[in-house]
Amino acid sequence: MYVLSDSLGETAEYAVRAAVSQFDYDTIDIRRIPFVDDISTLDEVLVSAKENEALIVYTLVVPELSAYLREKSAALGLEAIDLMTPLLERIARRTGQRPKHKPGLVHKLDEDYFKRVEAIEFAVKYDDGKDPRGILRADIVLIGVSRTSKTPLSMYLAHRRIKVANVPLVPEVAPPKELYQVSANRIIGLTIHPEALHQIRTERLKSLGLGLSASYARMERILEELEYAENLMKRLGCPVIDVTNKAVEETASLILQMIRGGRIR
């Protein structure tokens, strides 16, 4: 079996192997011919396929190459199976759009996928100030007191291929020096109304089975933390977003607008 593709041909070969697995053949010779982009290559493959009495399977998105292979295969008495054209035609009819007929687009999607995975791994590695070196490598650095949605926001933005590090702000802990080494345009401060934070932290303590007398949820402590964070954000000169009653998606949308508008760079 000859598998022809105008890109890598991995998907086509996988489909062929999946089909072959349904039959009782111990060995079958599957030859993948990638990056088929001209008539002369097709002619060479057809001669070889004829000599070996091969079945041809192909995914050629360029209409001229696909039509040529179909016609020449028929003329040589070879069976050629087009995996791509029927699907393209049906999608075109359903959507009303014309296919792009550009080879290799799926691998651009793959590249996008790997960038997303890389960003997610980055967010996990540099979450909650674990390693301040991530601040220098991040596209965006989120800062704020505990329970201002830094971690879920980091993960949400990571799915948009944005590398995010986040740093918790605590009055007793000096901020990492790296915060002063990056542009303020890459730092985003997250703030929240004291009453809202008090409610969130109180619910958090309840979920952990801890007493409500802990300083973590006391209003005096919350006001102290928020004042400290506000002063630091002013000192850094970074943009600040109030996340009170905002869903993660809303805050992320504001950040994405800032990126598109050039406020974050």
Binding site for ADP: what residues are annotated?
A: 144-151
Longest CA–CA span in the chain (Å) reads 86
Looking at the structure, tell me whether residues 15 and 126 fall in a common domain: no
Check residue 101 and give its pLDDT.
75
Check residue 163 and give its pLDDT.
96
Binding site: what residues are annotated?
A: 144-151
Two tokens at 162? 């944005």
- Give domain status of residue 135, yes or no: yes
State the residue for tokens 């001669």: 47
- Give domain status of residue 179, yes or no: yes
Looking at the structure, tell me whether residues 7 and 128 fall in a common domain: no
Q: How far apart are the first and last CA of the chain?
A: 51
Looking at the structure, tell me whether residues 189 and 243 fall in a common domain: yes
Looking at the structure, tell me whether residues 120 and 85 fall in a common domain: no
Give the pTM.
0.63
Mean pLDDT per 10-residue interval, the chain, length 265 residues: 89 88 81 90 93 93 91 95 88 87 66 86 95 96 97 95 97 96 96 97 89 86 98 97 95 93 77
Split into its structural domains, the chain has a count of 2
- Give domain status of residue 265, yes or no: no
Domain boundary among 72, 103, 134: 103
Other Cβ atoms less than 10 A from the Cβ of 3: the count is 26
Check residue 108 and give its pLDDT.
61
- Tell me how long the chain is: 265
Check residue 265 and give its pLDDT.
67
**Domain limits for position 24:** 2-103
- Integer angstrom CA distances of residue 19 from 13, 14, 28, 29, 57: 10, 9, 12, 14, 12
Other Cβ atoms less than 10 A from the Cβ of 207: the count is 8
Contacts 24+ apart (CB under 8 A), 30-35: 30/1, 30/3, 31/1, 31/2, 31/3, 32/3, 32/5, 33/2, 33/3, 33/4, 33/5, 33/9, 34/5, 34/7, 34/8, 34/9, 35/5, 35/6, 35/7, 35/8
Q: What is the CATH number of the domain that holds 39?
A: 3.40.50
Check residue 110 and give its pLDDT.
64
Looking at the structure, tell me whether residues 47 and 124 fall in a common domain: no
